[in-house]
Amino acid sequence: MRPLTGCIVLLFAAQTSVLYAQKDTSQPRNEVEITEDKKGIIHGKGIQKSEILTETEFKKAACCTLSESFETTNTLEVSNADGVSGIRQIEMLGLAGKYVQMSRSNMPTVRGLSVLTGLSHIPGPMVSAVHLSKGTGSVTEGFEGLTGGINYALKQEPTEPRLFLNAYLNNQWRGEVNLITKQRINHRTFNHSYVHYGGQWKTMDFGGDGFTDMPLSNRLFVGNQITRYNDKNEWLIGFTHVIDERRGGDLHHFMHKEQQNDVFHFRLNEQKTDVWAKFGIFLNKEASKSIGQILHINRQKTQSLLNSLRDRKYEGTQHSLYYSAIYATPDNKTISTRSGVSFMLDNVNETLYDSGVVIYDPARQERNIGAFSEWVFKAGQSSLVLGIRSDYNNLFGWLITPRIHAKWEIDEKGKMLHFQSGRGVRTPWILAENMPYFISNRSIGIKDYSNSGAYGQEREDAINTGVSLTLPFKMFGYPAKFITDAFHTRFLHLIGIDRDQRPDLMVIGKIDQSRYNAIQTDLHLQPHRRIELRISYRFIENMLWLANGMRQQPMLSKHRFVGILSMKNRKKWYMDAIFQWNSPKRLPQTLDLPEKEQMPTWSPAFTIINLQIRKDIGTKWEWYAGGENLLNVVQNNPVLSATNPNQPWFDAAYAWGPVNGVNAYMGFRLKIK
């Protein structure tokens, strides 16, 4: 795939916009439409602690994929996984993204081979909202998700415009185009089609280390979804297909291709197809008694050249099937229940090559069947959810997962206290989730390998407990809110990677001791009806037993501040400023190396400032322009031994901060109703 593909998509989008510019005679005329600006972040009023990021919030971070759409929240931290691949890794409550249950419309989608790159396959402008839940979720959603959940939905409502077109371009030669069309089949059935193309078309080296800061890339996303609304039932059927190609490494590889065998280069090709169906039957007029069924099938194929000098490659194929059926009883104001069954199948083949030789080729078929029940009790201002599920896994045997959520509405003004606790379990995908660490010359060791379980390891097992307090109040006559959360995660069995023993070695296996605590405080203010200010502080204590001692988890800020200032005026001009301060991050130790090759023990603290201005023109057009990383913070050495990648300690995973400098961009959105 080349930039020509993007031109074809742009041409198709332009032709489609002309087609849909005709009047829709099926709509009533002489209507008066009254609209209200949506809040960017809505704090859920349910029993579980949650927050909802709306389309309004996504506009504040204009680019580009879902993995880059969380700049305005402190609940998630997004950073570069390494200095070569361009993979964006997320952290939630101090735990890596692999411990977050990521789903689309409550269907598990980003897991397994896609755990690192799955969010970068989802175009942000095509997402209607993201639901962030903290702590272990409902048992109806499964037994995974040790630290929280990310549930997103594609734009699919009947109220969506008939045509949505978005284009973006920045000064670093990255661009994208997004197209959504809606067809009204009849008054209850709607079809939505999705096309996305994005790419990085030129190499950059802001740090001057000779390596590409962001890989050249091409990404194509297509999809379709049919939704049917009825008084007695609702259903939807859809599919998406993604092709993502990346190439990076030594700039010499791109400037003098005839010598490409003598320099380091990297390549990653991914293809993923998802097909799903949801069907709900309402058993009473109020739709409070229902039966719902979900079927989701996906296939992913990953091929990568992680280190050309060492001929280190990773290849993987995943076929997964998920089915769930839920029966919900009516809420009689005191007790309601949800019960059901689920089935999950993973058929996985992976191969890791080193020096052209297969060193690890695990293959497995993992089957899990489970039954669950959840009871909701309400009494006055208090609510309690008790959930339990029992699962049988063909590799690990029986598993019992209990969970509890409670909420106390302290008064009628909105003061609330949340408590939740529960067990979460997951199968470690030790190759796919550690891929950035293989972009190195380090030797790979697997600790405590056995012939049972998956990858010779037991499942990861943890208990997560948290408490949250919400205090609304008035300031300058406008509503304000203070929120504080505290979570503790106790791992009963933890699988991790240790890069602190030696700079030329990584060990994957059980971590003997760990300590995870997270505290987050948010203050939402509205000093004026057209001004919104949000201030957030997050503290993380992540201690792991690494290299025979308790150490802070590498590449994670212990303290982080985020501030967002949003302003607008009567002429529909909008301004958003985002401030982020990150405390120093610990780097894996390099004290055993020659002095000139050593990395610092800790990174410096750094500040990121983003600014964006956008303007609504009529009811159809919206233009925006902005800048990211305006202080031009650049890490010059994200790759250890970049000048001599033949050294045994060469390692690309030392990225603690931004690797590209100031990013100026502009774009537009077009909506035709």
Is the pLDDT confidence value at 51 over 80? yes
User: Is residue 121 classed as helix, strand or coil in its secondary structure?
Assistant: helix
Structurally, the chain folds into a number of domains equal to: 1
Query: What pLDDT is stored for residue 164 in this prediction?
Result: 97
Give the whole-angstrom CA distance, residue 424 versus residue 147.
Answer: 8
| Higher pLDDT among residues 269 and 79, named by residue | 269
DSSP single-letter state for residue 71: T
Are the beta carbons of 660 and 213 closer than 8 angstroms?
Answer: yes
pLDDT digits (tens, 9 = 90+) for 179-208: 999 999 998 999 999 999 999 999 888 888
pTM, 2 dp: 0.90
Q: How crowded is residue 465: how many other Cβ atoms within 10 Å of its Cβ?
A: 16
pLDDT digits (tens, 9 = 90+) for 464-483: 999 999 999 998 889 999 99
Give the whole-angstrom CA distance, residue 487 versus residue 471.
Answer: 18
Ramachandran angles phi, psi of 118, nearest 5°: -60, -40
CA 449 to chain centre: 30
DSSP single-letter state for residue 553: P
Reported confidence tier of residue 138, pLDDT bands at 50, 70, 90: very high
Are the beta carbons of 641 and 131 closer than 8 angstroms?
Answer: no
Rg of the chain over Cα atoms, rounded to whole angstroms, equals 25
Per-chain mean pLDDT for the chain? 90
Is the pLDDT confidence value at 15 over 50? no
pLDDT digits (tens, 9 = 90+) for 409-459: 998 888 999 999 999 999 999 999 999 999 999 999 998 888 788 999 999
pLDDT digits (tens, 9 = 90+) for 542-580: 999 999 899 999 999 999 999 999 999 999 999 999 999
Query: Does residue 573 belong to any structural domain of this protein?
Result: yes
Which residues share a beta bridge with 280?
A: 234, 292
646: its two tokens: 């033949």
Give the whole-angstrom CA distance, residue 457 versus residue 451.
Answer: 8
Distances (CA, A) of 95 to 146, 214, 245, 567: 9, 25, 28, 33
Average pLDDT over residues 236-263: 84
Which of 292, 245, 12 lies closest to 141 in space, CA to CA?
292
- Residue 83 belongs to a domain with what CATH number? 2.40.170.20
103: its two tokens: 């789903």
588: Cβ contacts below 8 Å, ≥ 6 apart: 499, 500, 503, 554, 599, 654
Peptide bond between residue 64 and the one before it cis (omega within 30 degrees of 0): yes
**DSSP H helices in 218-344:** 251-255
Is the pLDDT confidence value at 251 over 70? yes
Are the beta carbons of 228 and 188 closer than 8 angstroms?
Answer: yes
pLDDT digits (tens, 9 = 90+) for 281-320: 988 877 678 899 999 999 999 999 999 999 999 999 999 9
364: its two tokens: 């497995």
Query: What pLDDT is stored for residue 259 in this prediction?
Result: 54
Angle at Cα 403 formed by Cα 399 and Cα 405, nearest 5°? 170
Query: Does residue 632 belong to any structural domain of this protein?
Result: yes
Query: What pLDDT is stored for residue 263 in this prediction?
Result: 87
- The pairing of strands 148-154 and 100-104 is parallel
- The pairing of strands 505-510 and 443-446 is parallel
Query: What pLDDT is stored for residue 34 in this prediction?
Result: 38
Average pLDDT over residues 275-281: 95
Give the whole-angstrom CA distance, residue 45 versus residue 370.
Answer: 29
Q: How crowded is residue 32: how many other Cβ atoms within 10 Å of its Cβ?
A: 4
Give the whole-angstrom CA distance, residue 154 versus residue 449.
Answer: 41
Query: What pLDDT is stored for residue 16 in this prediction?
Result: 37
Give the whole-angstrom CA distance, residue 45 versus residue 182.
Answer: 31
Query: Does residue 402 belong to any structural domain of this protein?
Result: yes
Reported confidence tier of residue 604, pLDDT bands at 50, 70, 90: very high
Angle at Cα 125 formed by Cα 121 and Cα 126, nearest 5°? 70
Give the whole-angstrom CA distance, residue 60 versus residue 631.
Answer: 18
Which of 152, 135, 118, 141 lies closest to 344 in space, CA to CA?
141
Q: How crowded is residue 284: how many other Cβ atoms within 10 Å of its Cβ?
A: 9
DSSP single-letter state for residue 646: T
Query: What pLDDT is stored for residue 23 in this prediction?
Result: 37
| Higher pLDDT among residues 193 and 89, named by residue | 193
Query: What pLDDT is stored for residue 554 in this prediction?
Result: 95
337: its two tokens: 């229940």
| Higher pLDDT among residues 222 and 63, named by residue | 222
Burial state string for 311-345 with b = 16 or more CB within 10 A and e = fewer than 16: ebbbbbbbebebbbebbbbeeeeeebebbbebebb
168: its two tokens: 């973006």
Reported confidence tier of residue 13, pLDDT bands at 50, 70, 90: very low
Which residues share a beta bridge with 527?
A: none
Reported confidence tier of residue 329, pLDDT bands at 50, 70, 90: confident
Q: Domain range for residue 434?
A: 3-21+37-672
| Higher pLDDT among residues 122 and 40, named by residue | 122
Query: What pLDDT is stored for residue 352 in this prediction?
Result: 97
pLDDT digits (tens, 9 = 90+) for 382-393: 999 999 999 999
Give the whole-angstrom CA distance, residue 123 versus residue 140.
Answer: 27
Query: What pLDDT is stored for residue 472 in this prediction?
Result: 94
E strand residue ranges, 138-232: 148-154, 163-170, 174-186, 189-200, 216-229
Query: What pLDDT is stored for residue 43 in this prediction?
Result: 79
Are the beta carbons of 342 and 369 closer than 8 angstroms?
Answer: yes
